[in-house]
Structure 1
Amino acid sequence: MSNRNNFSDDYALGLQEMFPTFLRTQNNNNRHDNFTHNYNSDYDKRNNNNNSYYDSRNDYGNDRNNSYQKSRKSTRNKINLPGQESRVFKILLLGGTGTGKSTIINTMTNYFLGGTLENLKVVIPSKYYKVTEKKFVNEHSEAKLDDVTKSQTTKCYNYEFNHPDNPAYKFIFIDTPGLSDTNGVKQDDKNIKEIVDAAISAGSLSAIVIIANGTEARVTPSIKNTLVRLSNNLPDVLVDHNLLLILTKCAKSSACFSEDAFEKEIAKPKKVFYMDNQAFCNDPQIWKDDEDEYHTVQFHWDKSIKTINELLMAVTQLSSTSTQAFEKMKTYRNSIKSEIVKVTQDIANIQKVQDSLDAAQKALQQTGDKKNSFANYTTTETITLKSIVKAERHSTVCMLHFKSDVICHDGCGLEFNNSSGTDHFRYCSCMGSNGLCTKCGCGPSSHYHDNVKMGVKTQTISKVLEDLKAQFESANQQYQKYSSDKNTYQSSLSNLQATADAKYGLIHKLCFDLSKICSRFNFVDELHANIESMRQDARILQNNNLRNNAEKEIQRLEKLVNDLSSKRGGTYN
């Protein structure tokens, strides 16, 4: 493979052929010092002389050298940077975790610094390559190199390059953390904050480049989350004028990614690019000593360099746009999140009060039933009573005991005498041997005759069952307490709901105001995407307590989504 390094002397001539118009106005000393490394390609030769490629490894190396100039023309001759004025192009790179942002940045680095497959320039480490350009080493340059589900970038970082053929043109690529990281929704929230802050700090942007995996045909929850988050955070003024899309890991003919879904969720990009640079993704030992594999990798390398060329051309044709809209959106979003925190707490409080109300109503029902079961603590009883009643015959009665319903001799046979104070009744049969009445104990002089007799009557009386009465009174006290609690909880619930409704109204107003800056903004959709991501995360939790807490959080968010949707129909237009 030594022939790969034989043609570095031809590189300057290659550049002149690739940029004839532009370089005639440039001093050769303006070229970037690092942009003089070998760049080999056998793409054209493969098409024109495929047989000789397989006949001899030596011929293969020589053919690649001979085809170098043609290959360079095919990959680098389309850029045209007119004029000498200094210009700065700031490009914000966005995408989901694992979509290939790091590979694209490394490819751009090789474009600007003259890297080749034999002399790769690396600013973001991968599983197989360490950083070669020390000035780009930073604490955020690597995270989980072996885990494509975790973002390698945890903070935003700028990569600045002067174009090798026009140093007056500076390109600043703002690398950002990937979205839909497996660390979950909270990590996405942190990443969005980093992205927004970086955009604000930039002051203006020439382009927003969204990077997506072109091989993913299905809109998975992860992709949906990424698209929704991007659409909800990119202002119209930039999306409408500065949006570009790169589909990675594919060619135009093999892309499965739904551009229609992208356009529906975000917007129609100004231009779509396709890139499948395999050099940084695979073990170099697989292809470096295998001519067939090397040829494939070189082919994709050439196409990637050409794509970068076209991307830069597109960027230079876009007008730079202020990022002030990001600042306004951030203010609205912070206000919305603040109100969301408050209303979420309201929801939790409402749920607690509702639970207490339900418990009070249940207890009220139970104590009511109990009270009713003890309500009949009194009973009635019919008794028979003797009393004096009028009669046709006369009887002996005592003037002292008549009112006590005492008849001393019923149906007395003595001659009728209705006067007392005489000895007339000493011979009445009611008198005992001692001369006193055997019924009342009084002497004869206190007795007299009256037309009465002893009668019988019935009477119904009420009787209190004291043990039942005590249980009734206890149950009634509990009933009154739970009734009072119920009224208190209902009042608290009404107040809390009114407070929450006011916050919902404010949230909708803030969302409506924010939608004037970002017409695609839909907070309900974002919450739905959050919930789906949270569900995915919850499924893999092994700890029951953590899983239960996650489910409770999901339920609270679902309640919030339903409330937000029902209050204003879920729209802000």
Structure 2
Amino acid sequence: MMADKEKLLKTLKELGDEAFEDFKWHLQQPDILEGFSTIPKCDLEKACRRDTVDEIVQTYNHQAVEVVKKILKTMNKNDVVEKLSAHVEEIQQSLRSGSLSTDELFPAQCSSLVSILPSSGKHPDVNDLKKNSASDEALQRPLPEVKASNKAQTYEDIISKSIQMSSGSPDVYQLRPKEEKFGTLTRKTVGEKNLNKKNKSILLVGETGTGKSILINALVNYTMGVKFENNIWFEIVEEEKRSQSESQTSDVIVYQIFGFEDKTLPFSLTIIDTPGYGDIRGIERDVIISQRLFDLFRSKDEVHEIDAVGLVLQAGVNRVSDRQKYIFDSVTSLFGKDIEKNIVALITHSDGITPEDALKALKAANTKGAKNEKNQLVHFLFNNRQNKQRTEETKVALENAWRVTERGMKRFTDFLEKSKPQQLITTVEVLKARIRITACIQNLQDRIQLIELKQNKIQQTEEALKKHEQEMKKNKEFTVEVDEVYKKKEKIDGGRWLFFYKGAVTCNICKETCHYPGCTKAWYPEHCEVMKDGYCTVCTRKCRAEDHVKEKWRYVNKIRKVKKTLEDVKQKYEKNKVDREQKKSLLENLQTEMEELKSEKIQLLTEVYQHVEQLEQIALNDSSWSTHVHLDFLIEKMNEIKATEKVKKLEEMKRREDERTKAAMRYYMFGR
């Protein structure tokens, strides 16, 4: 006896090429299908007969034969309908006569009989039909009559370890995974890891309210093999009661689902959930999130490769909001360019129809990621009603909604299986580079400010000497008032709590601030990201890590008014000068120091420019909002030293990301 897929394939072969194309067109028409889900055009456009059968079975499951017959009748292909019906009648007669054992049936044939045979007026004992088989997983669907016992037998162990949240249709259970804190991250694990089995890692990113938490629950249920007929639903995400604008996920959480390999999927799943970037807690919160991802990616025992980055958004959007742009750009700016082919859109609240508006919005926002043959961002569709209570009025609609998610999960996990995992070595380097660039620029701004204050002091001294030179020669006690530059330790808002130590890393030798703000994890200077091979990458002398401290204060530049005599000035500028320099006039020595300060300023600017170039070479998104702010500073200072070519390149970078950055700035200024 043939399996349903083989019989459906034989049926489609009865159609000529033109009739087959017409058949595929009917599968896309909601008016013709009347209540059944449509199959998107993009999935059928290049599909052969075998691929089309796979799409039909995946979409309609036990109702596949019914849908095919419905379309064939609409096409007036009654002869083909009769042949398909004859196959069903043959099975029915064999069951009645006893010549066919139910053990010989494939699951899809059993499922088809449940929906088709009742029309004959006699019901075979469906409780005796075979429930399990090693045949195609997509064809396996437990029967409605056996769902209670199936649920008890299949999920008894899981249920016994879970908390029942509600009873009904479906019963909803809260999973109780093993929970561990490692560093600043949380890990929740279901099952035991098998080192001999493959694992796939997914990073999910999305605005608060897009349905990310429900999507995680759906991924878990799909991995566990939960079907609509099981009338059960498991939740792994624990919702926290917070305002909608503040993410309900309080930390970066790693969910690991083990023990179901080769049952539903050929691999286990690791799901990395990020809280909504850009919630009401501000940019400082976003910096912490980036830091925690950094900790995760560089940890020896955790995630070292990513198979997919899922950008989560709702199907109904017609433009990517400023907040959503900021979120996507913030995350993509953390990765190297090698991750682009692994970025996909996970579209929630979908009715199964291609979300044209959402795809156009993603394209208009120039969202980076894998592209399909239509040059659209690769996307997968999901509905968010799996845990809704079913009634007589809503059951059909909720089953169709379930099928949308089931089909989206099948296609997404197929993508995961085929995708090449990206090692996170480059990502770690991008994160390190970004932290060092930010720290370098912050330090650079302080040092340039110090240089400019010194230049201003020299200018004041020159003017005073020219104006009062004769008086100062006649009266050695004659004084002039000038600015004096000095460094002061300034207290900052910081402290230690849990795994954090908010403070500033400073150099005792250079008297400079090397990392502030943004240094929240390192408890000691040697653990700070700005340290490399035991030396600081930021301070002037690139001093040893042990020459630094981390405290609740930083160095700031200050000026104070002081009175100087001619002798005071001479002593300052002639001290430690070689004979040749001592022969110079005081004004000439002042000019020499001014030139030295200009050279130092150019050297500092060149150093930070090289950091920006390095980031551009390895980063997928080379100009996040924080970098953009620094670009303005760099362009201004490069213009001052007339570095034309460097200014040109920086302005090109700025223009390239200008719209994205403006969106982020609009969000932070007006979007709260």
| AA matched with 1:88 | N
3-state SS, counterpart of residue 33 of structure 1: helix
**Equivalent residue, structure 2, for 1:33:** 154
Q: Show structure 2 runs of 5+ residues with no match.
A: 1-113, 116-125, 141-149, 160-168, 170-195, 483-562, 573-585, 657-672
Pick from 353, 357, 363 the counterpart of residue 260 of structure 1: 363
User: Structure 2 vs 1, CA of residues 172 and 219 (structure 1 numbering), >3 Å: closer, same or farther?
Assistant: closer
Distance verdict in 2 for CA 1:331–1:363, change over 3 Å: same
Question: Equivalent residue of 1:273, what SS?
Answer: strand
Match of 1:103 in 2: 214
What does residue 190 of structure 1 align with?
A: 288
Identify the residue that residue 276 of structure 1 maps to in structure 2. 383
Partner of 1:170: 268
Q: 1:344 — aligned with what?
A: 445
Q: Tell me how far apart the structure 1 counterparts of residues 233 and 371 of structure 2 sit (CA, whole Å).
A: 34
Partner SS state of residue 233, structure 2: coil
Partner of 1:125: 238
In the alignment, which residue of structure 1 is the partner of 2:254? 157
Aligned to 2:346: 246
Report how far residue 22 of structure 1 moved: 8.7
Match of 1:302 in 2: 403
Matched, 1:19 2:136: yes
In structure 2, distance between residues paired with 1:32 and 1:363: 93
Aligned counterpart, 2:335: 234
1:121 match: secondary structure: strand
| Alignment partners' CA distance in 1, 2:350 and 2:590 | 61
> Aligned with 2:358: secondary structure?
coil
2: CA distance, partners of 1:14 / 1:182: 51
User: Is the contact made by 1:247 and 1:255 (CA closer than 8 Å) also made in structure 2?
Assistant: no
Contact 1:350 1:493 in 2 (8 A): no
Contact 2:252 / 2:272 at 8 angstroms: preserved in 1? Answer: no
Q: Once the two structures are superposed, what CA deviation does each residue of 1:338-371 show, in whole Å capped at 9, x if it has no partner?
A: 312311322553565678789x599979x97xx9
The letter of the residue matching 1:271 is V
Question: Deviation at 1:106?
Answer: 1.0
Residues of 2 paired with 1:308 and 1:193: CA distance?
Answer: 30
- Does structure 1 residue 559 correspond to structure 2 residue 630? no
Q: Which AA in structure 1 matches 2:355?
A: S
Q: Residue 179 of structure 1 aligns to a residue in which SS? A: coil
Q: Give 1:208 deviation, angstroms.
A: 2.5
Deviation, structure 1 residue 502 = 2.4
State the identity as a percent: 15
Give the counterpart letter for 1:156 in structure 2.
I
Q: Aligned AA for 1:172? A: T
SS of 2:420's partner is coil
Q: Look up the match of 1:313.
A: 414
Paired residue secondary structure (2:285)? helix
| Partner SS, residue 202 of structure 1 | coil
Q: Which has the higher contact order (CA 8 A, sep 6+)?
A: 1
Instruction: Work out the CA distance in 2 between the residues paired with 1:109 and 1:86.
Output: 17
1:493 offset after TM fit, Å? Answer: 7.2
Given the alignment of the two structures, is residue 505 of structure 1 paired with residue 505 of structure 2, yes or no?
A: no
Q: Distance in 2 between matches of 1:262 and 1:223?
A: 10
Distance 1:204 1:557, change over 3 A: closer
Structure 1: 5+ residue runs without aligned partners? 1-5, 24-28, 39-60, 62-84, 127-141, 376-468, 532-555
Greater mean deviation of Cα atoms: 478-487 or 342-351: 478-487
Equivalent-residue separation in structure 2 for 1:276 and 1:261 (angstroms):
24
Distance, in Å, in 1 between the alignment partners of 2:129 and 2:463 is 91
Q: Is 1:212 aligned to 2:328, yes or no?
A: no
Counterpart amino acid of residue 627 in structure 2:
L
Distance in 2 between the 1:354 and 1:292 partners? 80
Secondary structure, counterpart of 2:615 in structure 1: helix
The answer to whether the Cα contact below 8 Å between 1:232 and 1:521 also exists between their aligned partners in 2 is yes
Alpha-carbon distance in 2 for matches of 1:319, 1:19 = 24
**RMSD of the alignment, in Å?**
5.1
Task: Say if 1:330 and 1:106 are closer, same or farther in 2 by CA, change over 3 A.
Answer: same
In structure 2, distance between residues paired with 1:32 and 1:502: 72
Q: Distance in 1 between matches of 2:321 and 2:385?
A: 24
Which secondary structure does the structure 1 equivalent of 2:318 belong to? Answer: coil
How far 1:198 sits from its partner (Å)? 2.6
Could you tell me which amino acid in structure 2 is paired with residue 248 of structure 1?
Answer: T
Asked whether the 8 Å contact 2:635–2:647 carries over to 1, the reply is no
Kindly state the Cα deviation for residue 336 of structure 1 after the two structures are TM-superposed: 1.9
Q: Which whole-Å deviations, capped at 9, do the CAs of 1:80-103 have from their partners, x for residues lacking one?
A: xxxxx9422222223344433222
Instruction: Note the alpha carbon deviations across 1:528-552, whole angstroms, 9 max, x for none.
Output: 3xx6xxxxxxxxxxxxxxxxxxxxx
2:247 match: secondary structure: coil
Residues 201 and 307, structure 2, Cα contact 8 Å, conserved in 1: yes
- Over 3 Å counting, the alpha-carbon distance change for 1:190 and 1:489 in structure 2 is farther
Q: How does 1:112-511 map to 2 (within 5 A)?
A: 112-113=223-224, 114=226, 119-126=232-239, 142=240, 145-150=242-247, 152-161=249-258, 162-163=260-261, 165-166=263-264, 169-200=267-298, 201-240=302-341, 242-251=342-351, 252-253=354-355, 255-256=357-358, 258-261=361-364, 263=366, 265=368, 268=371, 271-279=378-386, 288=389, 292=393, 296-349=397-450, 360=460, 478=480, 498-511=599-612
Q: Which residue of 2 aligns with 1:58?
A: none
1:515 to 592, 613, 616: 616
SS in 1 for 2:295: helix
Q: Specify the SS of the correspondent of 2:234.
A: coil
- 2:312 counterpart SS class: strand
Partners of 1:10 and 1:563 lie apart in 2 by: 80
The residue matched to 1:177 in structure 2 has which SS? coil
Equivalent pair of 2:345/2:379 in contact (CA under 8 Å): yes
| 1:462-500, Cα deviation, whole Å (9 max, x unpaired) | xxxxxxx9xx999x8548979979989998776566444
Q: For 2:610, what is the secondary structure of its paired residue?
A: helix
Bigger radius of gyration among the two: 1
Distance between the aligned counterparts of 2:638 and 2:209, measured in 1?
33
SS state of the match for residue 210, structure 1?
strand
Given that 1:88 and 1:172 are in contact with CA atoms closer than 8 Å, whether structure 2 keeps it comes out as yes
> How far off its partner does 1:295 sit?
5.3
CA shift for structure 1 position 272: 0.9
Alignment check: 8 A CA contact 1:227 1:266 kept:
no
Distance in 2 separating the partners of 1:352 and 1:11:
90
What is the identity, as a one-letter code, of the residue corresponding to 1:100?
G
Counterpart CA distance in 2 for 1:364 and 1:86 is: 79
Task: Tell me, in whole angstroms, the C-alpha distance in 2 between the residues paired with 1:221 and 1:489.
Answer: 51
Report the 3-state secondary structure (helix = DSSP H, G, I; strand = E; otherwise coil) of the residue aligned with 1:165.
coil
Partner deviation per Cα, 1:416-461 (whole Å, 9 max, x = no partner)? xxxxxxxxxxxxxxxxxxxxxxxxxxxxxxxxxxxxxxxxxxxxxx
